[in-house]
Structure 1
Amino acid sequence: MFTGIVECTAKVHQLNREKNNICITFNNPFLNKKIQINQSICHNGICLSIMNINKKTYSVIASEETLLCTNLNFLKIQDEVNLERGMMLHERLNGHIVQGHVDTIARIIKIENRNGSWLFFFKSKTKLNHRIVKKGSIAINGVSLTIITCNQYIFNVSILPYTYETTNFHLMKIGDMVNIEFDILGKYIHQSIQRFWKNNRKTF
């Protein structure tokens, strides 16, 4: 479980195709912090487990299912990825609950410089009905953000200077694909309402 507050970034060091999976090796930015085999780390919003560690790099494996629903197929060597280790229960939840389970991907269609912040506009591959709400939470490449406006396919968020500089948002450009995770609380509420109406439609 994560919070959407990115700790740091890492560059892709190596990409190796292993049957239908991809082994991704990153430069290790956690040299002075303890990480271990099988530890889960959020990479651009994707929960992946460490398979191998050495002094300068560590590796993870992305399965075929993960590759189908995320932007990992677009990764190139030297690309920069947002990282967050699993949250600790005794710490403040400064973002929102992020599982690291990507729901869909979206394309950047517009970036506006607002003289102190940036507005990023995204177009989702899937309909956003009942998935997001104005002023609600969303995770974009693992970053916890607040939705400003939204319609069936398009939504936007505001990026402040600290987030812009310390995540890979400063490298993003129009046409780039990003990973999207919708708010888990909203997903559970929507499913509960659907089940309620399905079970009680004859009554109403």
Structure 2
Amino acid sequence: MFTGIIKETGMISSIVEAGSSLQLWVRSPLSTKLKIDQSVSHDGICLTVDDLSEDAHRLTVVKETIDRTNIKHRVPGDLLNLETSATPTTLLDGHIVQGHVDDTAKVISIENLDGSWYFWFSLPASGQLLVVNKGSIAINGVSLTIAKLMADQFSVAIIPYTFENTGFNRLKVNEKVNLEYDVIGKYVARMIGERKLIAGM
């Protein structure tokens, strides 16, 4: 489990195909603090460290994750948001983030407000009942609050600290991002769906 509070970033140094999987080496100041078999969020994707070097760590990304996330669009030199897993003493400054990407979305527009930024994203049909205005959402692993919500798109407001210390300062229009909807909302939606199904029997 994660909280969506990004404290480090890492740069992809290499990507190698390994059968249907991808092996990524990521260079980061965080790498020296990691251990093999540790779970780390990379742009909101929970991945396991399977090798270490002096200043980098390696990940193996399986086909299911490649198909579901934006990792297939990544190239060496790209920056990833990194977060180690939460512990019982971790402050929940963001919200509960599992590291299980639900959808990808496209950056529609970026508005510089001279001190903050509005980012607008497309909202996939599968997520339209899982988000609420002023609710939580994880975008590339960053815990954010939905500022404005429309039928098929939404926006978030980014403060300077988040812009400067995450990959948001590199996002471009039409780029794909990873979305994880609030897990509580997903459970509620599932429970309501099950009740309707039972009632209709």
Report the identity percentage: 38
Q: How many Å apart are 1:92 and its aligned residue? A: 1.3
Letter in structure 1 aligned against 2:25: T
8 Å CA contact 1:104–1:126 kept in 2: the answer is no
How far is the alpha carbon of 1:31 from its aligned partner? 5.2
The match for 1:116 is 115
The 1-side partners of 2:25 and 2:157 are apart by: 31
Contact 1:45–1:181 (8 Å) recurs in 2: yes
Unaligned runs of 5+ in 1: none
Aligned counterpart, 1:22: 22
1:5-44 equivalences under 5 Å are 5-30=5-30, 34-44=33-43
Quote the offset at 1:153 in angstroms. 1.9
What CA RMSD, in Å, does the superposition of the two structures yield over aligned residues?
Answer: 1.2
Higher helix share: 2
Q: Which moved more, 1:122-131 or 1:45-54?
A: 122-131
Tell me which residue corresponds to 1:80: 79
Q: Distance in 2 between matches of 1:31 and 1:127?
A: 35
CA deviation map 1:53-75 (0-9, x unaligned): 11111100110000001000111
Taking the aligned partners of 2:15 and 2:139, their CA distance within structure 1 comes to 23
Q: In 2, distance between residues paired with 1:71 and 1:127?
A: 17
Q: Give the Cα separation in 2 of the matches to 1:163 and 1:56.
A: 24
CA distance in 2, matches of 1:112, 1:136: 21
Q: Does the aligned pair in 1 maintain the 2:31–2:52 contact within 8 Å?
A: no
Residues 2 and 187 from structure 1, CA distance in 2 versus in 1: closer, same or farther, beyond 3 angstroms? same
Equivalent in the alignment of 1:104: 103
- 1:30 is paired with a residue whose SS is helix
Q: Which runs of 5+ in 2 are unaligned?
A: none
Following TM superposition, where does structure 1 have runs of at least 4 consecutive aligned residues deviating by more than 4 angstroms? none
Greater shift in the superposed pair: 23-32 or 132-141? 23-32
Q: 1:69 to 1:126 in 2, by over 3 A?
A: farther
Query: C-alpha separation between the residues in 2 aligned to 1:28 and 1:9?
Result: 6
| Mapping for residues 145-164 of structure 1, pairs under 5 Å | 145-164=144-163
Give the letter aligned to residue 7 of structure 2: E
TM-score (ref. length: structure 1): 0.95
**Cα distance in 1, alignment partners of residues 50 and 39 from structure 2:** 10
